[in-house]
């Protein structure tokens, strides 16, 4: 909220009688004769306040007039500027919304054209490689694995495509990020199902692991709780593991729809970190759901990593974790730095918009590389796993029975 602290008139020099504009002796800025002085939260995330100057038209608009708002200059007084009598100015676009797509295209220089073209090419190649991989999976992969492998393979290409759209249309960044997050929420659950299908399905998993137990002291929830007991593998345990990941796939979509509805009402704003904003309540809750969903996947991977070593489950899990870190953690860190003012404003992008832009461009490059690596990991012959070796007791028992049957 703008808090107008004082109202005054400043001497104006003009060569003509009745001139409407002149040079303000107080600040050396071109303003109209009637102006207002107040305080504006220039960087509210760091608690800074900047002195600003408004024209009389801005004041009229503030008081209910239909005349458009005109922000002449936003200034931040510093010790150096107070000593020499000058005040540095900030570009008005640093406090505006992200630019339109056409504004970006018109202001691109040679380097910008090359950068945007290269990143767009990478996103397009990622999607084409994914489509070619889908055709291969459809022709050569058993039916019970087709769907889950296609879902897991699509994480990097979908994020790269959404990031490309967000790069060209900065005002749609929130929606493209939400789409990528919803898709990856489904991928978390699908990766758990993929590990189960690789061992032959639920029944085969229960037969193989009937005499084993699950280690639940794993990340991201309980990696430090080494005292937790091992859990027997039963149908109920398997159901709880699936439910833990499935809830994230459903609730993430629900909260995304809720966020969009609140955004249209003006209630949801990612930059509004006050206690009265919806983002400060929704985002931490979604983060808790994410941690809960990742825990069952980590438990299952720790249990099957030796069994599925022949199908390269360890590098596959590494790629899955890398997509998670880059698309969620890296993006969150960059956005926090932008909101905190660490990333500077660069017209026509404000500091938050520039942070979002940097995040989208990095994701395109990273997801392009992950798409190529993932293609090498999943493009293989899908032969059934060898049967698990039987225990020593059962083997010795069979040998005793055979020896008795052979004896006269």
7-65 confidence digits (pLDDT tens):
333 443 444 444 444 444 343 333 333 333 333 444 433 444 343 434 444 444 455 54
86 token code pair: 């000058």
384 compared with 232, residue with greater pLDDT: 232
Give the pLDDT of residue 51: 38
Statement: residue 202 has pLDDT above 70: yes
Measured CA to CA, the distance from residue 66 to residue 58 in angstroms comes to 10
Residue with tokens 């889950």, as numbered in its chain: 148
Crossing angle of helices 331-339/351-378, nearest 10°? 170
396 token code pair: 């010795």
DSSP code of residue 27: T
- Taking the CA of residue 257 as centre, how many other CA atoms within 13 Å lie in the half-sphere pointing to its CB? 5
Q: What is the dihedral of CA 7, 10, 14, 16, to 10 degrees?
A: 50
Measured CA to CA, the distance from residue 164 to residue 241 in angstroms comes to 35
Residue with tokens 């084993």, as numbered in its chain: 212
Calculate mean pLDDT across residues 319-343: 85
Mean pLDDT of the chain: 74
Statement: residue 402 has pLDDT above 60: no
Q: Strands across the sheet with 48-54, in order?
A: 3-7, 36-43, 48-54, 71-75, 89-90
Give the pLDDT of residue 2: 41
121 compared with 63, residue with greater pLDDT: 121
235 contact partners, CB below 8 Å, separation of at least 6: 202, 206
Asked if residue 302 lies in contact with residue 217, where contact means CB atoms within 8 angstroms, the answer is: no
- Taking the CA of residue 142 as centre, how many other CA atoms within 13 Å lie in the half-sphere pointing to its CB? 12
Helix (H, G, I), strand (E, B) or coil at 175: helix
150-188 confidence digits (pLDDT tens):
999 999 999 999 999 999 998 888 899 999 999 999 999
367-395 confidence digits (pLDDT tens):
999 999 998 888 866 555 555 544 444 44
Residue with tokens 């960059």, as numbered in its chain: 334
């Amino acid at each position: 909220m703008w808090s107008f602290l004082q109202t005054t008139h400043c001497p104006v020099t003009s060569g003509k009688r009745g001139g409407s504009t002149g040079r303000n002796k107080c600040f050396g800025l071109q303003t109209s004769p009637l102006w207002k002085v107040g305080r504006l939260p220039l960087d509210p995330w760091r608690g800074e306040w900047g002195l600003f100057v408004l024209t009389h038209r801005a004041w009229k608009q503030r008081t209910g007039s239909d005349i458009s708002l005109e922000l002449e200059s936003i200034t931040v007084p510093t010790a150096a500027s107070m000593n020499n009598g000058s005040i540095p100015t900030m570009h008005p676009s640093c406090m505006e919304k992200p630019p339109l797509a056409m504004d970006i295209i018109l202001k691109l220089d040679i380097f910008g054209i090359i950068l945007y073209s290269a990143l767009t090419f990478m996103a397009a190649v990622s999607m084409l490689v994914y489509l070619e991989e889908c055709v291969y999976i459809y022709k050569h992969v058993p039916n019970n694995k087709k769907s889950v492998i296609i879902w897991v393979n699509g994480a990097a290409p979908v994020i790269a495509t959404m990031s490309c759209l967000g790069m060209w249309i900065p005002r749609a960044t929130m929606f493209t990020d939400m789409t990528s997050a919803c898709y990856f929420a489904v991928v978390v659950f699908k990766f758990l199902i993929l590990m189960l299908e690789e061992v032959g399905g639920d029944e085969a998993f229960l037969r193989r692991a009937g005499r084993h137990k699950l280690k639940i002291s794993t990340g991201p929830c309980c990696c430090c709780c080494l005292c937790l007991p091992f859990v027997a593998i039963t149908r109920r345990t398997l159901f709880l593991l699936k439910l833990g990941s499935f809830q994230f796939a459903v609730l993430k979509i629900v909260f995304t729809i809720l966020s969009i509805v609140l955004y249209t009402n003006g209630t949801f704003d990612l930059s509004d970190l006050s206690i009265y904003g919806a983002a400060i309540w929704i985002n931490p809750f979604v983060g808790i759901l994410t941690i809960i969903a990742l825990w069952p996947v980590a438990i299952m991977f720790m249990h099957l990593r030796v069994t599925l070593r022949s199908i390269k489950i360890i590098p596959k899990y590494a790629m899955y974790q890398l997509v998670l870190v880059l698309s969620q953690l890296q993006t969150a860190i960059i956005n926090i730095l932008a909101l905190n003012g660490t990333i500077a404003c660069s017209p026509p992008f404000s500091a938050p918009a520039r942070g979002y832009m940097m995040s989208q461009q990095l994701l395109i490059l990273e997801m392009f590389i992950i798409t190529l690596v993932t293609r090498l990991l999943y493009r293989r012959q899908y032969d059934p796993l060898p049967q698990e070796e039987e225990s020593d007791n059962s083997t010795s028992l069979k040998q005793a029975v055979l020896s008795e049957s052979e004896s006269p």
